[in-house]
Amino acid sequence: MNDDFGLYPRDENFDPLGVMLFKALQVIAFLFFIALLAVSPDSKDGKIDSKAEFIITMDWPDSHPDDFDLFVQDPIGNIAWYRHREAGFLTLDRDDRGGANNSVTVNGKKIASPIREEIVTVRGIVRGEYTVNVSHFAATTGQPVPVKVKVQKLNPTAQVVFDDRLILDHTGHERTAVRFWLDAEGKVVDVQQRHKSLLETFRNARANGADLDPKTGVRMPRRE
């Protein structure tokens, strides 16, 4: 159709298949945009979506054969360690034994992992003192080894409470990495490094009542 002055364009031939394809592409683009919104991470800096309140990590040099253990005690005396991985709100992710258990067999071939790391998560808030210790369970090289310990508060935003390296140099060597105090809301109110032995807790238990876990009352099997 055209008017007398040529102000309106001439009608083009109508193509129903082309219109359907164009509409389908619009729908696909819209669904793709919605999917991106659903999977996009929160853009707020430092925002952490985690069920844990704190994460405590200990690591030592990659591929190192020595065995180190992480011990964490909460304010009411629960201790997470390799023989008691869940204690109150504390959970030990894995007992990393250095060169002894860092490989898996796939299709008959042994694949070694160089990573040396243990992790304890704190999944609830208990007011009071938390103690984080490192023990040199097996010193195979006879050399001093740097061990890094890091404590992070996760909620409501990520915050580093402690990050430092310790030197351990013989079997049985125990050091306190950090002691920190929380208030009732989970705020860190004090941080110290004054030594406090956690292994002594177990030694005292053995002296007073055989090889029993002082928190569970269960006989502790020998570590192989």
3-state secondary structure of 33: helix
Q: What is the mean pLDDT of residues 92-113?
A: 78
In a domain, residue 73? The reply is: yes
**Res 35: pLDDT:** 66
**In this structure, what are the phi and psi dihedrals at residue 17, rounded to the nearest 5 degrees?**
-65, -40
Answer whether residue 154 shows pLDDT above 70.
Answer: yes
Distance CA 106, CA 220 (A): 32
**Res 92: pLDDT:** 96
Q: How confident is the model at residue 32 (pLDDT cuts 50, 70, 90)?
A: low
Q: How confident is the model at residue 218 (pLDDT cuts 50, 70, 90)?
A: very low
In a domain, residue 217? The reply is: no
Report pLDDT digits (tens) over 44-82: 444 444 589 999 999 999 999 999 999 999 999 999 999
Lowest mean per-residue pLDDT among 17-26, 63-72, 113-122: 17-26
In a domain, residue 71? The reply is: yes
Domain count, the chain: 1
In a domain, residue 189? The reply is: yes
Domain range enclosing 183: 54-209
Tell me the pTM: 0.69
In a domain, residue 201? The reply is: yes
Answer whether residue 170 shows pLDDT above 60.
Answer: yes
In a domain, residue 222? The reply is: no
Q: Concatenated DSSP letters for 64-126?
A: ---EEEEEEE-TTS-EEBTTB-EETTEEE-----GGGS-EEEETTEEEE----EEEEEE-S--
Answer whether residue 28 shows pLDDT above 90.
Answer: no
In a domain, residue 93? The reply is: yes
Q: Which of 110, 109, 112 is nearest to 99 (CA)?
A: 112
In a domain, residue 216? The reply is: no
Q: How confident is the model at residue 96 (pLDDT cuts 50, 70, 90)?
A: confident
Q: How confident is the model at residue 205 (pLDDT cuts 50, 70, 90)?
A: low
Q: Report the CATH number that the domain containing residue 188 is assigned in CATH.
A: 2.60.60
**Res 195: pLDDT:** 96
**Res 38: pLDDT:** 59
Higher pLDDT, 17 or 98: 98
Q: What is the mean pLDDT of residues 133-154?
A: 96
